[in-house]
Homo-oligomer: A and B are copies of this chain.
Amino acid sequence: MKTIAIQGFEGSFHDIAAHGYFAGEDIRLICCATFEQVFENIRRSPDIVGLVAIENTIAGSLLHNYELLRDSGTTVAGEYKLRISHCICCLPEDSWETVAEVHSHPVALMQCRGFLANHPELKAVEAEDTAGSAKFIAENKCRGWAAICSRQAAEMYGMKVLEDQIEDNKHNFTRFLVVATPGREGMLRTCRETDKASLVFSLPHEEGSLSQVLSILSFYKINLTKIQSLPIIGHEWEYMFYVDVVYNSATRFCQCVDAIMPLTKELKILGEYRHDGTNPTI
């Protein structure tokens, strides 16, 4: 049995993603209040695996999770892409007529902005978690309160779904990373070769330094699927680059890393894994 640390409660999108990635396996969840706690769990028990959201087609990258990933020393062992759909739910004895507040995570509230604009009678209240809001309302019998969460969470906590698929944009996917203690990621892998990697590096602000690195990637036939620059706080004109690449040959990828190493600073391979091709783009 594998133990998976996630941020959020049972029924959260992290829970759904964990069960999706480890489909058919026996898993036990550790539900954490924060992403920091997910990484802290892995640090204390190297057999624990983490699953963390890293980007969303609407909200963009979770920059803070990139930092946690880089600072934690964990390695990326896999990715999973999940279609995000929200519903609004309340206690079975409540209805549209009696609901006055809606509780959810700020990102979920933001993703349902259009829906909320059409319901000015609902006061939006920020909560720690989507599923956690449903759980709280169910357990504390909060009359007049609604939650925005997954349909699975609503059903799990015995809540009544008032409306389903209330997210503004249906092209709403979140990409999750499976993170593990280096050396332990083997237990997560079948024998298949990797075909994707996440890297982070910085560059001196010399003319064309990024162009040189990308040229070498191109010579080695390593393809970018994501690039994001982040200014390094306090170092004017210096940047961190978070890059995802896909490749056909893991050997070629290793050779390419050797080739770009001297041109970069603080190059770190965050992990090599199999890309999730089940859902389009991210």
Partner of A236, one of B60, B231, B235, B281: B281
Q: Mark A203-219, 1 if CB is under 8 A from B, else 0.
A: 00101101110110111
Identical chains in the assembly: 2
Across-interface contacts of A106 in B (CB, < 8 A): 106, 109-110, 126
Q: Mark A262-282, 1 if CB is under 8 A from B, else 0.
A: 000000000000000000111
Across-interface contacts of A126 in B (CB, < 8 A): 106, 109, 124-126
Across-interface contacts of A234 in B (CB, < 8 A): 171, 280-281
Across-interface contacts of A233 in B (CB, < 8 A): 57, 171, 281
Interface size grouping (class) on chain A = 35 or more
Q: Mark A8-26, 1 if CB is under 8 A from B, else 0.
A: 0000000000000000000
Partner of A125, one of B59, B123, B208: B123
Across-interface contacts of A208 in B (CB, < 8 A): 214-215, 217-219
Across-interface contacts of A214 in B (CB, < 8 A): 208, 210-211, 214
A42 to chain B, nearest CB (A): 21
Q: Enumerate A114-164 residues with CB–CB distance to B below 8 Å.
A: 123-126
Nearest-neighbor residue (CB-CB) of A280 within chain B: B236
A167 to chain B, nearest CB (A): 14
Please name 20 pairs of A and B residues whose Cβ atoms are closer than 8 Å in the assembled complex, sorted by A: A60-B63, A106-B106, A106-B109, A106-B110, A109-B126, A171-B233, A171-B234, A207-B218, A208-B217, A208-B219, A210-B224, A210-B227, A211-B211, A211-B214, A226-B229, A227-B227, A227-B228, A228-B229, A231-B282, A233-B281
